Amino acid sequence: MAQFDPAAATAAYLAVLTPAQHAKAQAYTQGGHWLLLWGAIVAVVASWLVLRSGVLVRVRDGIEKGSPKPVRVAFAVLIVDAILEFILNLPWSAYSDWWRETAYGLTSRSFGGWLGEQLAAGLISAILFTLLLVGLYTLMRKAPKTWWLWGSGVVALFFVVVMILAPVFIMPLFNKYQPAPPGPVRDEVVAMAKTVGVPSDKIFIYDGSKQSNRYTANVAGLGSTSRIAMSDVMFKKDADIAEVRGVVGHEMGHYVHAHVFIFAALYALLALVGFFIIDRAFAPVARMLGAKDVRGLSDPAGFPILAILLTVLGLISTPIRVSITRIAEADADTFSLEHFNEPDGLAKALVKTIEYRAATPSKLEEVLFYDHPSVGSRVRKAMDWKAAQQKVDGVS
């Protein structure tokens, strides 16, 4: 019997796509790297325009005349800012999130459908992040020297709360979730969930294809809000049981290893560093931008300055942020292989994601930009696992 060759098996899986398809995926992926820079520039310009317009100062002054309560002032100013920046960023969002996705065949959604969803998402984001920011501005007023320390904890709490509530109150606004129908797929997922201690009573299929043609599943929520959801794209692309086991096993790994709490802690640490820098940089940046009527860091009318700083820091920290996620994704792959032993199922599913994530980037590109390990490395990992298992089985 010929010895199994992981390198040859990996090459065979990657060869499922033609050279032209790989080239298209590479163009899409590398173009996406540039979008990070251009998107940051657009966001900075939008914030600068809002700041220079003086609209937020006028809103602040008008609200203070009728109600000097700082929370009301902050809420009103931040909502106005959210609306203005949403409008200013909309043309760029239309290009990057709809036109480009359509051009690469990654969505079949109409512009009207996309725009309607953007408006709804923008409204929800404006409310949620305004509440978060009102809390941060309250800290700035009450603890001006240490707000950045307490603020990182607020960010962590906010992250966890949103992750808990999103499956119940937010996600159903954008997709229709239906209980997975009785059959082999549901039976297999239920058995998998019971094996690793994931709640098995909420297994759904959702119409993810209306937003994207991407192949995905997820486990979301905590405690009573936990649920397993598989995009209908998985079934439109002829997923078999082995693929379902590989992909859903990966998502269960995120849940069992409590990655949501790890993300919350690490993002809180990033927020701590970022807020500390903002605390020191706000005043000189405000002077540089000519924000004469902004009273200081705790003045919500100066939020565009804070937004510019957050955008720049976010861009600079991209390698750190994507590496945090990439490490968790690799851990979830390992979990899937160890508990459900479907290297070929996982590999077949991964190959279907190459169209939106180039399979073989350079190591530097992967470290700087990839929030998942490259498909090539993930398939090779699965094939190495398969080879190791065959050796074990051969010995036994």
pLDDT band at 208, cuts 50/70/90?
confident
- Give how far the C-alpha of residue 247 lies from the chain's centroid of Cα atoms, to the nearest Å: 18
Helix or strand run (H / E) with residue 218: strand 217-220
* pLDDT per residue as tens digits for the range 322-359: 999 999 999 999 999 999 999 999 999 999 889 888 99
Mean pLDDT across 318-323: 97
Q: Is the pLDDT of residue 97 over 80?
A: yes
Percent over 90 (pLDDT), the chain: 73
Q: Of 232-241, 307-316, 354-363, which range is least confident?
A: 232-241
Would you place residue 367 in the very low, low, confident or very high pLDDT band (cuts 50, 70, 90)? very high
Alpha carbon dihedral 15, 18, 22, 28, in 10-degree steps, equals -140
Name the band, by pLDDT with cuts 50, 70 and 90, for residue 86: very high
**pLDDT tens across 239-249, in order?**
689 998 999 99
Q: What is the pTM of this model?
A: 0.90
Nearest to 343 by CA among 278, 250, 268: 250
* Per-residue model confidence (pLDDT) at position 332: 96
pLDDT at 143 over 80: yes
Considering only 116-130, 213-227, 275-289, 367-381, which range has the smallest mean pLDDT? 213-227
92 vs 181: which has the higher pLDDT? 92
10-20 pLDDT, tens digit per residue, is 999 999 999 99
What is the per-residue pLDDT for 394?
A: 64
DSSP secondary structure letters along 233-274: HHHHTT--HHHHHHHHHHHHHHHHTTHHHHHHHHHHHHHHHH
Q: Determine contact, residues 333/373, Cβ cutoff 8 Å.
A: yes
pLDDT at 389 over 50: yes
pLDDT of residue 147: 97
Residue 1 confidence (pLDDT) above 60: no
Mean of pLDDT over the chain? 92
Average pLDDT rounded to a whole number, residues 206-225: 80
Q: Is the pLDDT of residue 146 over 70?
A: yes
User: Phi and psi (nearest 5°) for 358?
Assistant: -50, 140
Distances (CA, A) of 249 to 191, 213, 342: 11, 21, 9
Q: What is the pLDDT of residue 396?
A: 41
